[in-house]
């Protein structure tokens, strides 16, 4: 457990120290919130009794978590390139401990980043009425999502030697996951074929879960969301651990 | 008891034998130099001994622990300073040390006492709270060495610890290393490109080429094993002079190195005159000639037929190094 904590602690120190990165990654969610939320607020009927602005806040929070956690996982490539990974690999600790520590670190930063986004969104003005229980539910879903996608990022990073493949992951993994997740639109408004794709996207269930927490309503039963997200988290953890164990430096 | 015991260790990389049946032992408290050109298998051997790579065949123990079956015990017994930097640049010097101490389960009290002490040893005490990104190459190296010592390893591996450092820093680092070896009886296994350093520091030296150990002994004995002195000359017709010299009783062996010929000659100070008169008699102009006692550099040339210098100037290697540096940014 010491080793897991140590690696988690390092992630936290790096995160707290990189204020520019912290602020920088709040830019995109804020942009989405103001441009899309502000621009479409009066034109879109969400069919859920909330304004469009209120509707996309959980989606944008989830987006923050997605981006931050995937990046945290992929950061292992930097450790590989800067040689720091060797220092951890040669220490008398198991790779499982390294992987778990890294995953928890990424999950923590992404939840913090998600909460910062939420605070900003509430300040921008949404008229959301969040109950304490609803808030905890949302944080729970954010945490699961953070763990799952950091682990997925580690899985990708374990197969990559440098940052060249990063653009590929950005365009063919992160954006599709975000786009299909229903973060920005109700699933009901999609044509049937696209909805099927959305149901295959694990982030859909995280968005729905967070939405249930923050708005009190969702299109998919929150327990279904929880079950599927738990299964997905377990699967990415296993995959990340498996690939990280085999990674060479 | 030998603290490092290597028996017939091999490593294949897809058909390429990087390390080919290497066997040797290192005694406790020894400073052991590991010399060889780039790609000879030095780093691969160190990687296997430090459990980062598994051998294809053969066995080795470090501090009595098997490098495949008792990885954790081996890792606790060793400290390692890698050829490439392995610090977290975004953390401070102290935090890098602290991280290491925690990973090696050094108790908090010991950590708190030993980190400042080690930072003082490498003269980084005043910079302990500065981010490593602001450190020079020499400072980083010193920090890495201090870090490698934090858990008081039985064996310290230093893989080219002074590569690319200025002579002053290099001397300082070796001073620390020697001091540690003497005060803590720590076994040190080092690889270096600088032959004079290996000569000065090591109790014993192994020369490895193409994955095989070709000579292993004390620097003194290795130098004696060449026999005689070293005469390096350049003439208008090197080949002809070499043919003439081969007939002489003082001739022992020869190597051609670019534009020069390197001869092993018995009692060179007396016999060099004979060499010059041979050349003059044949009407060949002697452009330069020098005599010196054999160094490890000559031993290296003698056994591998290559000089370390030509190795360093290998263009492919330089390119790789440059690419690595670009990759860092």
Q: What is the 3-state secondary structure (H, E, C) of chain A?
A: CHHHHHHHHHHHHHHHHCHHHHHHHHHHHHHHHHHHHHHHCCCCCCCCCCCHHHHHHHHHHHHHHHHHHHHHHHCHHHHHHCCHHHHHHCCCCCHHHHHHHHHHHHHHHHHHHHHHHHHHHHHHCCCCCCCHHHHHHHHHHHHHHHHHHHHHHHHHHHHCCCHHHHHHHHHHHHHHHHHHCCCCCCHHHCCHHHHHHHHHCHHHHHHHHHHHHHHCCCCCCHHHHHHHHHHHHHHHHHHHHHHHHHCCC
Position B298 in a domain? no
3-class DSSP state for residue B298? helix
User: Same structural domain for residues B232 and B151?
Assistant: no
Contact list in A for residue B75 (CB cut-off 8 A) is: 90-92
Q: Give the residue from B218, B247, B277 where a domain finishes.
A: B218
Q: For chain B, how many structural domains are there in total? A: 2
Q: Is 0.90 exceeded by the ipTM?
A: no
Structure confidence at residue B266 as a pLDDT band (50, 70, 90): confident
**pLDDT at res. A40:** 82
- Please determine, for residue B238, whether its predicted confidence score (pLDDT) is greater than 90: no
Helices (DSSP H) in B154-201: which residue ranges?
Answer: 167-184, 195-201
**Binary contact (A82, B88; C-beta < 8 A):** yes
Residue B10's H or E segment, with its range, is strand B2-13
**pLDDT at res. B315:** 46
Position B127 in a domain? yes
User: Same structural domain for residues B243 and B207?
Assistant: no
A23-27, A242-246, B80-84, range with greatest mean pLDDT: A242-246
**Binary contact (A3, B72; C-beta < 8 A):** no
User: Same structural domain for residues B207 and B247?
Assistant: no
pLDDT digits (tens, 9 = 90+) for A144-200: 999 999 999 999 999 888 788 877 887 889 999 999 999 998 998 889 999 999 999
Task: Answer yes or no: pTM beyond 0.90.
Answer: no
Average the pLDDT over B94-121 and give the result.
93
Q: Does B10 or B307 have the greater pLDDT score?
A: B10
Within an 8 Å CB–CB cutoff, is residue A87 touching chain B?
yes
Cβ–Cβ under 8 Å, residues A77 and A162 = yes
* Separation in Å, CA of A71 to nearest CA in chain B: 17
- Please determine, for residue B317, whether its predicted confidence score (pLDDT) is greater than 70: no
CA atoms within 13 Å, Cβ hemisphere of B322: 6
B34-38, B52-56, B170-174, range with greatest mean pLDDT: B52-56
Contact list in B for residue A82 (CB cut-off 8 A) is: 85-89, 328
**Binary contact (B104, A13; C-beta < 8 A):** no
Closest-approach residue (CA) in chain A for B148: A87
User: Same structural domain for residues B204 and B274?
Assistant: no
Position B326 in a domain? no
User: Same structural domain for residues B112 and B243?
Assistant: no
Average the pLDDT over B263-269 and give the result.
83
Residue B253: which domain range? 228-293
* Separation in Å, CA of B324 to nearest CA in chain A: 9
**pLDDT at res. B326:** 47
Q: For chain A, how many structural domains are there in total? A: 1
% of residues, chain B, pLDDT over 90: 39
**pLDDT at res. A126:** 67
Average the pLDDT over A219-228 and give the result.
95
Structure confidence at residue B308 as a pLDDT band (50, 70, 90): low
Q: Does A21 or B69 have the greater pLDDT score?
A: B69
Average the pLDDT over B8-14 and give the result.
91
User: Same structural domain for residues B49 and B151?
Assistant: yes
- Please determine, for residue B320, whether its predicted confidence score (pLDDT) is greater than 70: no
- Please determine, for residue B310, whether its predicted confidence score (pLDDT) is greater than 60: no
Position B327 in a domain? no
User: Same structural domain for residues B214 and B256?
Assistant: no
% of residues, chain A, pLDDT over 70: 99
User: Same structural domain for residues B131 and B269?
Assistant: no
User: Same structural domain for residues B146 and B43?
Assistant: yes
Closest-approach residue (CA) in chain A for B96: A10
Position B310 in a domain? no
Residue A140: which domain range? 2-246
Position B303 in a domain? no
Contact list in B for residue A3 (CB cut-off 8 A) is: 102-103
Average pLDDT taken over every residue of chain B = 86
Residues with Cβ within 8 Å of residue A169, at least 6 apart in sequence = A70, A74, A156
User: Same structural domain for residues B160 and B280?
Assistant: no
Q: In this complex, how many residue pairs, one in chain A and one in chain B, have their CB atoms less than 8 Å apart?
A: 69
Position B204 in a domain? yes
Within an 8 Å CB–CB cutoff, is residue B328 touching chain A?
yes
Cβ–Cβ under 8 Å, residues A86 and A190 = no
User: Same structural domain for residues B107 and B214?
Assistant: yes
- Please determine, for residue B260, whether its predicted confidence score (pLDDT) is greater than 90: no
Structure confidence at residue B29 as a pLDDT band (50, 70, 90): very high
Position B315 in a domain? no
User: Same structural domain for residues B44 and B151?
Assistant: yes
What are the backbone angles phi and psi of residue B11, rounded to the nearest 5°?
A: -140, 125
% of residues, chain B, pLDDT over 70: 93
**Binary contact (B82, A86; C-beta < 8 A):** yes
């Amino acid at each position: 457990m010491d080793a897991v904590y140590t690696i988690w602690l390092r992630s936290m120190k790096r995160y707290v120290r990189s204020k520019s990165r912290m602020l920088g990654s709040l830019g995109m969610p804020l942009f989405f919130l103001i441009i899309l939320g502000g621009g479409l607020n009066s034109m879109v009927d969400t069919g859920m009794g909330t304004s469009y602005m209120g509707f996309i806040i959980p989606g944008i929070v989830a987006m923050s978590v997605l981006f931050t956690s995937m990046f945290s996982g992929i950061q292992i490539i930097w450790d590989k390139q800067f040689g720091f990974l060797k220092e951890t690999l040669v220490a008398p600790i198991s790779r499982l401990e390294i992987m778990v520590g890294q995953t928890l670190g990424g999950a923590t930063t992404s939840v913090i980043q998600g909460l910062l986004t939420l605070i900003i969104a509430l300040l921008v003005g949404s008229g959301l009425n969040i109950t304490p229980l609803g808030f905890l539910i949302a944080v729970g879903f954010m945490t699961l999502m953070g763990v799952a996608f950091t682990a997925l990022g580690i899985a990708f990073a374990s197969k990559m030697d440098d940052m060249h493949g990063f653009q590929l992951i950005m365009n063919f993994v992160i954006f599709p996951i975000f786009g299909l997740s229903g973060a920005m639109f109700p699933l009901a408004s999609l044509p049937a074929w696209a909805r099927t794709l959305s149901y295959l996207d694990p982030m859909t269930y995280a968005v729905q879960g967070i939405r249930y927490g923050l708005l009190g309503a969702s299109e998919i039963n929150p327990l279904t969301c929880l079950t599927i997200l738990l299964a997905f988290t377990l699967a990415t953890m296993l995959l990340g651990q498996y690939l990280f164990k085999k990674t060479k430096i | 008891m030998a603290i490092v015991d290597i028996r017939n260790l091999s490593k294949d990389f897809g058909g390429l034998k990087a390390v080919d049946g290497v066997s040797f032992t290192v005694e406790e408290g020894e400073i052991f130099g590991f010399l060889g050109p780039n790609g000879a298998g030095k780093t691969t051997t160190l990687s296997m001994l430090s459990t980062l790579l598994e051998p294809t065949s053969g066995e080795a123990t470090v501090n009595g622990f098997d490098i495949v079956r008792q990885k954790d015990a081996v890792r606790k017994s060793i400290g390692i300073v890698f050829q490439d930097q392995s610090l977290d640049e975004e953390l401070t010097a102290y935090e890098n040390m602290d991280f290491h101490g925690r990973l090696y389960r050094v108790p908090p009290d010991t950590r708190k006492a030993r980190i400042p002490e080690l930072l003082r040893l490498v003269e980084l005490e005043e910079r302990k709270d500065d981010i490593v990104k602001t450190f020079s190459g020499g400072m980083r190296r010193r920090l890495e060495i201090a870090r490698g010592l934090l858990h008081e390893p039985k064996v310290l591996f230093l893989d080219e610890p002074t590569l690319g450092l200025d002579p002053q820093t290099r001397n300082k680092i070796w001073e620390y290393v020697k001091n540690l070896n003497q005060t803590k009886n720590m076994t040190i296994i080092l690889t270096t490109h600088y032959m004079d350093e290996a000569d000065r520091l090591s109790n014993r030296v192994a020369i490895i080429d193409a994955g095989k150990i070709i000579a292993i002994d004390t620097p003194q004995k290795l130098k004696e094993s060449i026999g005689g002195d070293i005469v390096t000359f350049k003439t208008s017709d090197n080949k002809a002079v070499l043919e003439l010299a081969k007939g002489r009783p003082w001739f022992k062996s020869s190597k051609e190195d670019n534009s020069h010929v390197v001869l092993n000659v018995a009692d060179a100070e007396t016999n060099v005159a004979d060499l010059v008169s041979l050349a003059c008699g044949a009407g060949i102009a002697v452009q330069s000639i020098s005599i010196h006692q054999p160094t490890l550099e000559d031993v290296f040339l003698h056994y591998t037929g290559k000089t370390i210098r030509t190795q360093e100037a290998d263009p492919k290697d330089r390119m790789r190094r440059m690419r690595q540096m670009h990759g860092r940014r």
